[in-house]
Chains A and B, each alone.
Chain A
Amino acid sequence: MTTAPVKSNVPEKSGLKAWLTSDAPESRGHARAVQLYLGWLKLYENRLAFLGFLIILSLVLMAIFAPLLATAEPNAQDLSKRLLAPGTDGYWLGTDELGRDIYSRLVYGSRITLLIVGIVAFTAPVFGLLVGTVAGYLGGWVDQLLMRLVDIFLAFPKLILALAFVAALGAGIESAIIAISLTAWPPYARIARAETLTIRNADYISAVRLQGAGVMHIIVGHVWPLCLSSIIVRVTLDMAGIILTAAGLGFLGLGAQPPDPEWGAMISAGRKFVLDQWWVAAMPGMAIFIVSLGFNLLGDGLRDILDPKKSQS
């Protein structure tokens, strides 16, 4: 594979916009930059999707700058200040049953949420992509076998399967991540297989094959790139689900363990006093809700941008 030579006649800074909107890209990198820029414009125009993007951006910034944003140590207990209402004594969102600052715990909890989402959103699609493209490209008994496996995993209710995996692996954040990944990959395999079936007989694939390329080379180098956009859309839409499942496991006491400020576990702790001190359970729930809404809004917008079939209608 040869990369096109990078031309040196990149326009001056005033011409950056013209360069980014050029309809005659001069190199592969240029074409990609134009595509990215036009996509960005579409995202910017779609107000709801852009809102989603801003929410996710804030979440990431919150996770990175947690020590600066938090007003207290997330695990610092002060039993004399337990269950304070929001706003008292400088505790913006109140304190929990051990007198810990809920706001600071939410800020640090964003790290756990991002960690889980990040790892699952990487491993599950890659595994699904591998299984789906191999099945679709090779066909025959390999296809039959792999797709039967996918069916079996799809037949399990997700949360119960995740519960069973966590029970087998022992409660904890690592088990939660593995369990969610194990339940999340089959839909990606389905999508990737469907995409592969439509492109495996394309002329360019035959051309690559005639040049003597190996099976894995064709799949990874020439089939994967074409499956990516539909997988990315699906991943963005699934992230909210991943967050909700992770929170559900945390709520059941099977995810992150105390004293980690995991949002689902915080709701579980606040459940006992929900009728009197509602904020202990309400605040982390709001956080989960806002973040999943952000991912859903962004995913919806991305689908419109990346899927030309749907954006036309």
Chain B
Amino acid sequence: MSIADSTATVERRGTSSPLYKIFKGLIAGLFSITLTMVGLLFVTFIIARVMPVDPVLAVVGDRASQEIYEAAYKAMGLDQPLYVQFLLFLKQVAMGDFGMSTLTARPVIEDVARVFPATLELATLATIAGVGLGVPMGVLAAVNEGRWPDQLIRLVGLFGYSMPIFWFGLMGLLIFYGILGWVGGPGRIDIYYEDIVPVVSGMILIDSLLAGEIEIFWNAVSHIILPASILGYYSIAYISRMTRSFMLEQFSQEYITTARVKGVSEASVIWRHALPNVMIPLITVIALSYATLLEGSVLTEIIFSWPGLGNYITNALLSADMNAVMGGTVVVGAIFVGLNLFSDFMYKVVDPRAR
């Protein structure tokens, strides 16, 4: 490379500040997200069209006359070519319109907004447990690599990966609710407490505190603690495993050796030198685990009769309520994509090397 070339490079670097690069990355990210979202909508659309359900019958009922049926058929745009139907669908989705749910006779978007906080509440608590316990456990395992704490934590993780979550939940209910009576049963709250607290955030733990209803708050806690622990266990298994391998990677780096040679205490090496570097990839892991919990709660929600998004989508599927299925799936997919974008973005903000 000649001198002229290298000065040109320096100049070019000078004009593109880190912020500019982040911004550029964000634009590129948004573009690819848009493409992914359109693809996601397309797959959902195709699935809904393949479903052996007549969407017109679902609206007009099976006693409607031929004329009404035809009119509804036309009104729903079903006489148009498939790509026109897809564009119409895109247009509606862009305006936040997923149609009416045949099961609840309400707009799907309202239904989703109503059930989503329950899922969010559950997944958030589980993630807090996963980070709070999983990260220290991963560090402990890495520090004791190959010794019994490492083996034990690995086994705890393997158990988590191997247990069918719906069975785990069922056994949890049997032991802690049926036999020991330590926790509240299925549902978010005891039935006589329902509809007392005004809905603000939709999350009962927060709403009951806002309303000053301590008794209801504790009742809600007794209901959420078991499903949140069970989901949290899976989160712990995943996060501790990833933390362990990230930490081991750091321990083999030279800067750790340097710190040790300088006489830095082992605790300081672990918590002040290695862990901050591990936090960067951990953000991705935590975001991914959070997204998985929002989805993985489907089976847990069914076992615990938890009125969340997973329960809603499954019920809609089983009763062939296509609009609800499409709406719910798109929302979950969008959250997935969003969290991925967020973690990519955070990655670049925190780690200069990734820009």
Contact = CB atoms under 8 A, between A and B. Distances in A.
Interface of A: 148-149, 151-153, 155-161, 163-165, 167-170, 240-241, 244, 247-248, 251-253, 264, 267, 271, 274-275, 278, 281-282, 284-285, 288-289, 292-293, 295-297, 300, 313
B200 interface: no
A247 B164 CA distance: 8
A152 B43 contact: yes
Contacts of B298: 159-160, 163
B345 interface: no
Given A155-B333, A293-B162, 20 more contacts: A148-B36, A151-B32, A152-B39, A155-B340, A157-B296, A159-B296, A160-B313, A163-B314, A168-B52, A170-B52, A240-B162, A247-B166, A247-B167, A251-B299, A252-B314, A264-B166, A285-B171, A292-B161, A292-B163, A313-B248
Contact of A157 (B52, B167, B332): B332
Contact of B333 (A148, A156, A264, A275): A156
B166 A251 contact: yes
B302 to A, nearest CB: 7
Contacts of B261: none
Interface in B286-318: 291-292, 294-296, 298-299, 302-303, 310, 313-314, 317-318
Nearest to A310: B245
A267 B170 contact: yes
Contacts of A148: 32, 35-36, 39
Contact of B158 (A149, A158, A247, A296): A296
A213 to B, nearest CB: 34
A258 to B, nearest CB: 16
Nearest to A153: B43
A160 B47 contact: no
Given A155-B336, A252-B302, A267-B167, A168 B47 contact: yes
B133 interface: no
Interface in B4-36: 32, 35-36
Interface string B31-49: 0100111011001100110
25 contacts: A148-B32, A148-B39, A149-B39, A151-B39, A155-B36, A155-B40, A155-B340, A157-B336, A160-B310, A160-B328, A161-B43, A163-B313, A167-B317, A168-B48, A170-B52, A240-B162, A248-B164, A264-B166, A267-B164, A267-B166, A267-B167, A271-B303, A274-B170, A285-B164, A293-B159
Contacts of B328: 160
Q: From A153, A164, A300, name the one whose CB has the most chain B CB atoms within 10 angstroms.
A: A164
A296 B161 contact: yes
B153 interface: no
Nearest to B161: A296
Contact residues of A: prevailing secondary structure: helix
B178 interface: yes
A267 to B, nearest CB: 6
Interface in B141-188: 158-159, 161-168, 170-171, 173-174, 178
Contact of A275 (B174, B313, B336): B174
A241 B163 CA distance: 10
Nearest to A248: B299
Given A155-B337, A285-B167, A288-B167, A165 B162 contact: no
A144 to B, nearest CB: 10
B329 interface: yes
B317 A248 contact: no
Interface in B245-286: 248, 252
B325 interface: yes
Nearest to A271: B170
A282 B170 CA distance: 9
B50 A168 contact: yes
Contact of A167 (B40, B43, B51, B163): B51
A300 B75 CA distance: 56
Interface string B192-209: 000000000000000000
B295 A157 contact: yes
A253 B299 CA distance: 12
Interface in B55-81: none
Contacts of B292: 157
A131 to B, nearest CB: 15
Contacts of B32: 148, 151
B158 A293 contact: yes
B162 A274 contact: no
B213 to A, nearest CB: 30
Contacts of B333: 155-157
Contacts of A295: 162
